[in-house]
Chain A
């Protein structure tokens, strides 16, 4: 993978990992997290929409790979 693509993927995936934790902690619903990132940070690919775009399985695979390579912050 080209560095540019890897950087984009790592940054958006880091947001997905943190967003999943936030939902698991009961801070907000997945739907509300996406609405907040769309209307408050103007993200065109908020974390749960991004996950649907690349596919849940691919996201889980990516999270595991990144967790191993870059650290536990990516733990799925």
Chain B
């Protein structure tokens, strides 16, 4: 496994974080994006995480340089002809992802596994425009990737067993705990978090408790959440939450339908921490 070459498509925050865990585990990485400034931002993200480790004396500066030298970048698919495993992390848009996977099928060798880091789209649909659907798989990392151990490994309709196994093995080699799941809306975590969020919203609207007190109650030991749900929604971004909830509503109906308050915040542009207002006020972003 040590000599796998890893391709990363999309050098955003996720791409940069994935480059960190891959190089930390010793894998050479080729990172692709469509503009130099995006590549620079991705590499900077990776460097930031390493620099933090050096500052905390968990790594020497020499070791950091050695890790960063494992990363090469490209604006086309140069270097992907040698890639064994590709992780796509472009924006959450089905047409865009389908286009990237069609390009990857052409650019990569026949042995390469093509993984998507989608948090909400269907793996089966993302693979639709390729003829190598047995090698397409979901590999859903959680933010921040460098801290969160979970990877949801998602099997599309035609994903092979060996693809799923190789994806779990790579996740483990990168220090993660993979969990297998089917290609069902919201996979595991987003579906269950939305069910929790919806119940919290109902409790508030019934006048049981104000949202700040609900959040406070949820972080007490008897509930055991790491952060209140309304706060979590604001950090995640109401726009992203809206998108995920819409997908859940389409798949499961009334029970997981987008609530009025999320629709309203979304339409008002109150998208959470990043826009200065969501469920809570944050002052100017």
In the complex formed, the residue of A with least CB distance to B152 is: A36
Stretch at the interface among B18-26, B85-93, B212-220, B265-273: B212-220
Taking a contact as CB atoms under 8 Å apart, the answer to whether B199 and A14 are in contact is yes
Taking a contact as CB atoms under 8 Å apart, the answer to whether A40 and B150 are in contact is yes
Contacts of B256 in A (CB 8 A): 18
In the complex formed, the residue of B with least CB distance to A14 is: B199
Taking a contact as CB atoms under 8 Å apart, the answer to whether B192 and A28 are in contact is no
Contact residue among A4, A17, A45, A72 (Cβ-Cβ distance under 8 Å from B209): A4
In the complex formed, the residue of B with least CB distance to A73 is: B255
Given A4-B213, A27-B184, A40-B189, A12:B148 Cβ within 8 A: no
Least CB distance, A10 to chain B, in whole angstroms = 5
Taking a contact as CB atoms under 8 Å apart, the answer to whether B199 and A37 are in contact is no
Let me know if B229 is at the binding interface, CB within 8 A.
yes
Bound together, the chains give a CA A76 to CA B262 distance in angstroms of 27
Contacts of B218 in A (CB 8 A): 8, 11
Stretch at the interface among B57-65, B200-208, B237-245: B200-208
Let me know if B3 is at the binding interface, CB within 8 A.
no
Q: Mark A2-13, 1 if CB is under 8 A from B, else 0.
A: 011111101110
Let me know if B226 is at the binding interface, CB within 8 A.
yes
Taking a contact as CB atoms under 8 Å apart, the answer to whether A28 and B188 are in contact is yes
Contact residue among B192, B200, B222 (Cβ-Cβ distance under 8 Å from A41): B192
Taking a contact as CB atoms under 8 Å apart, the answer to whether A32 and B184 are in contact is no
Taking a contact as CB atoms under 8 Å apart, the answer to whether A6 and B150 are in contact is no
Taking a contact as CB atoms under 8 Å apart, the answer to whether B224 and A15 are in contact is no
Least CB distance, B49 to chain A, in whole angstroms = 19
Q: How large is the interface on B (under 10, 10 to 19, 20 to 34, 35 or more residues)?
A: 35 or more
Number of A-B contacts (CB under 8 A): 113
Let me know if B179 is at the binding interface, CB within 8 A.
yes
Given A28-B180, A32-B181, A37:B255 Cβ within 8 A: no
Least CB distance, B77 to chain A, in whole angstroms = 31
Bound together, the chains give a CA A42 to CA B223 distance in angstroms of 12
Let me know if B173 is at the binding interface, CB within 8 A.
no
Let me know if A26 is at the binding interface, CB within 8 A.
yes
Contacts of B223 in A (CB 8 A): 8, 11-12, 45
Let me know if B193 is at the binding interface, CB within 8 A.
yes
Contacts of A8 in B (CB 8 A): 217-218, 220, 222-223
Contacts of B177 in A (CB 8 A): 35, 39
Bound together, the chains give a CA A19 to CA B195 distance in angstroms of 9
Bound together, the chains give a CA A17 to CA B226 distance in angstroms of 21
Bound together, the chains give a CA A33 to CA B188 distance in angstroms of 7
Bound together, the chains give a CA A15 to CA B182 distance in angstroms of 18
Starting from the known contacts A8-B220, A42-B226, 7 additional A-B residue pairs (CB-CB under 8 Å) come to A18-B195, A25-B182, A25-B184, A28-B182, A35-B179, A37-B188, A40-B188
Interface residues of B (CB under 8 A from A): 142, 148-150, 152, 177, 179-182, 184, 187-189, 191-193, 195-196, 198-200, 202-203, 208-209, 213-214, 217-218, 220-226, 229, 255-256
Interface residues of A (CB under 8 A from B): 3-8, 10-12, 14-15, 17-19, 22, 25-28, 32-33, 35-37, 39-45, 47, 70, 72-73
Q: Which 8 A-B pairs have the closest CB atoms?
A: A44-B224, A40-B150, A42-B226, A39-B150, A14-B199, A18-B195, A39-B149, A28-B181
